[in-house]
Structure 1
Amino acid sequence: MLNLAHLPDTVYAIQHLAFEDLGAWEDVFYQLGLRVRYFEAGIDDLNKAFEHPGLVVILGGPIAVYETQDYPFLQEEINLLKVRLEKNLPTLGICLGAQLIAAALGSKVYSGHAKEIGWSKLTLASVENNPLQALEDIQVLHWHGDTFDLPAQAELLASSNLYPHQAFRVGNHILALQFHPEIASDSLEKWLIGHTGELRQANIAIPTLRAANLQFAPLLEMTSKTVLEQYLAQLNMAS
């Protein structure tokens, strides 16, 4: 049983899109005795979220880190993240969230050479206590077109065939995941509906992606619970 006595009992999650939530991980948090509170980027005041001493999860979305002229709140997120990361507060970023962490750590985020949308396996780095170890030989969901340079202070945890920087950590408290481990198998249809424009522009066959979702999502959902628990366990360790 995880000892989470050192953590405040509420996880703050920052959303950039209504249906990109904590997914299957929300139930995991509840099972561990943690509550969840959502903040909506661009609408809510994010100061309270980023000042939270407990775990903050920054979720994904279809906008780009560098689109600050169109979405000025992105720069606010980066500025608040810089302060949070300097304090080494527990922070987990997924997809756009990972890119925001990279930007806050001084790395360049930019459009990649290809859309990576669909299921494939990761290549895990041989590092001590890799929190992603449970995902060895597991198909995970990728859904992004942007990528980032690895921050100088970061340790690479995983790569894919298309992009070398799929996950990194800074110490034990800061974890950035370009892929989507949180996806819930019973809600992936929302993604197919909500991202229809992106899927058609990328010439991705929606029935094919749906079939892959049905094939791979249940196993990822079961396995990614271990990833989250491993990360939470490492928060007990000094960074």
Structure 2
Amino acid sequence: MSLSATLGHVRKTAPVIAGPSANLLPVLIILHQETSTPGRIGNALRALGYPLDIRRPRFGDALPQTLAAHAGAVIFGGPMSANDPDDYVRREIDWIAVPLSEQRPFLGICLGAQMLAKHLGARVAPHAGGRVEMGYYPIRPTRAGWKLCAHWPDQVYHWHREGFELPAGSELLAEGDDFPMQAIRYGDAFGLQFHPDVTYAMMCRWTACGADRLDMPGAHPRHQHFAGRACHDVSERAWLSHFLDGWLSRVPEMMMEAAE
């Protein structure tokens, strides 16, 4: 879809905070396209009682200088690259220092995971053979991954052309074939190369609007995306619920008390 009418536009409105007005601090949601949503992750966070503070730095939304008023932060995916020279890309990568220094829960999804890796000094690049992952692909949790979170799915949904190396000081939680780094942890920060956030509506939109990408090496044809969803979505959804619950339990106790 075209964003030509909005490229370079700086929004004057305040960031959108959505969700239940509970005693829980909001989760900062960082999106990259005007029509993007936090998908299933947003739904799961709301179900846990967390309001969502949705911001789009690409369109002028500022990022907070501290996460003292947030339970955690999630940077989602997008069609851009962590290697792009755009100012907002550089700002987001640099901003990851905030959750890391404050030891607040951080989660990067696809592009967000690559930004985390880039911030930590690791290389982000396309596959050497030009292969991509678009569709469902198997992952293999490591011992550290099983220890951290049970109920890992056998296959998860992907939509990406780049991957990242394991940053120094981080821990590999799950690995794959063409793109070995599928899930990593660095303290209270996590990066997922795959997309547990994708809803059925998002899958319909991505595979329709991005149909030309499904001809790339390694990509699955459109019908296999939906066949894979029928087989693997239940286990991926269950894993996401367990993961997010454990991820947010890392909110510092004093912060939880301050929100009460």
TM-score interval (norm. to shorter): 0.7 to 0.9
Alpha-carbon shift at residue 57 of structure 1 (Å): 0.3
SS at match of 1:166: strand
| Structure 1 residues 195 and 51: alpha-carbon distance in aligned structure 2, compared to 1, 3 A threshold | farther
| Structure of greater Rg | 2
Alpha-carbon shift at residue 129 of structure 1 (Å): 6.5
Q: Is the CA contact 1:134–1:227 (under 8 Å) kept in the aligned structure 2?
A: no
Gaps of 5+ in 1: 1-6
Tell me the distance in 2 between the aligned counterparts of 1:233 and 1:83.
19
TM-score of the superposed pair, with normalisation by structure 2 = 0.78
Alpha-carbon shift at residue 197 of structure 1 (Å): 3.2
Alpha-carbon shift at residue 159 of structure 1 (Å): 0.3
Alpha-carbon shift at residue 120 of structure 1 (Å): 2.1
Q: What per-residue deviation string (whole Å, max 9, x for no partner) do you get for residues 56-98 of structure 1? A: 1000011111111xx3211111122234423322211000000
Gaps of 5+ in 2: 1-22, 254-260
Q: Is the CA contact 1:20–1:60 (under 8 Å) kept in the aligned structure 2?
A: no
Q: What per-residue deviation string (whole Å, max 9, x for no partner) do you get for residues 134-180 of structure 1? A: 21x53211211111121111111110122221111112x21111111
SS at match of 1:47: coil
Are residue 143 (structure 1) and residue 159 (structure 2) matched? yes
CA-based RMSD:
2.3
Are residue 207 (structure 1) and residue 223 (structure 2) matched? yes
Provide the residue aligned with 2:10 in structure 1. Answer: none
Are residue 61 (structure 1) and residue 78 (structure 2) matched? yes
Are residue 100 (structure 1) and residue 107 (structure 2) matched? no
Provide the residue aligned with 2:196 in structure 1. Answer: 181
Q: Is the CA contact 1:124–1:132 (under 8 Å) kept in the aligned structure 2?
A: no
Q: What per-residue deviation string (whole Å, max 9, x for no partner) do you get for residues 31-54 of structure 1? A: 221101211131133332x63232
Are residue 155 (structure 1) and residue 171 (structure 2) matched? yes
| Structure 1 residues 182 and 234: alpha-carbon distance in aligned structure 2, compared to 1, 3 A threshold | same
Provide the residue aligned with 2:58 in structure 1. Answer: 42
| Structure 1 residues 235 and 158: alpha-carbon distance in aligned structure 2, compared to 1, 3 A threshold | farther
Provide the residue aligned with 1:127 in structure 2. Answer: 144
| Structure 1 residues 186 and 221: alpha-carbon distance in aligned structure 2, compared to 1, 3 A threshold | farther
Provide the residue aligned with 1:88 in structure 2. Answer: 103
Count of equivalent residues:
226
Tell me the distance in 2 between the aligned counterparts of 1:58 and 1:47.
11
TM-score of the superposed pair, with normalisation by structure 1 = 0.84
SS at match of 2:125: strand
Q: What per-residue deviation string (whole Å, max 9, x for no partner) do you get for residues 189-235 of structure 1? A: 12212322322445642223233233322432233211211222244
